[in-house]
């Protein structure tokens, strides 16, 4: 009678604690998760800074366009930001400025100035 066939699985030794992770494996998983979190946080911080810079550029452009439109229609420079906020634009309808600028202010003679506390990433007017 031929000898019974043995499977390779039967000859492999069994681990007595095969139902869990070792401390080393758990430590590696935690390390990888921490590294990925650091990369994500670093990249989103850069995105937020760039976003603020774009907001500043956009707001400055909006204020400059409002001053230019006001000057073209009224043939004089606006005295302040509030003039641009409350004066109706007869050409486009609505007001020259739709909202109070966050980082810039218009002063007498149509001069644009940065507000106190404006981010350093905002361009100088």
List pLDDT tens digits, range 86-122.
999 998 889 999 999 999 999 999 999 999 988 888 8
Q: What does R_g of the chain's alpha carbons equal in angstroms?
A: 33
| Structural domain boundaries in the chain | 32-114
Polymer length of the chain: 125
Gap between the Cα atoms of 102 and 9, Å rounded? 71
Q: Are 95 and 86 in contact (CB under 8 A)?
A: yes
Query: How many whole angstroms separate alpha carbon 87 and alpha carbon 71?
Result: 12
Instruction: Find all residues with CB under 8 Å of 71, minimum gap 6, and list them.
Output: 77, 78, 110
pTM above 0.75, yes or no: no
């Amino acid at each position: 009678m031929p000898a019974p066939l043995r499977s390779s699985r039967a000859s492999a030794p069994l681990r007595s604690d095969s139902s869990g992770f070792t401390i080393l494996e758990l430590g590696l998983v935690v390390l990888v998760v921490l590294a990925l979190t650091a990369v994500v946080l670093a990249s989103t911080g850069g995105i937020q800074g760039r976003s603020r810079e774009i907001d500043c550029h956009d707001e400055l452009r909006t204020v400059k366009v409002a001053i230019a439109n006001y000057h073209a229609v009224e043939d004089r420079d606006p005295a302040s930001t509030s003039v641009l906020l409350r004066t109706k634009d007869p050409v486009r309808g609505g007001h020259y400025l739709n909202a109070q600028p966050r980082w810039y202010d218009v002063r007498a003679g149509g001069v644009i100035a940065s507000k106190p506390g404006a981010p350093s990433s905002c361009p100088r007017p």
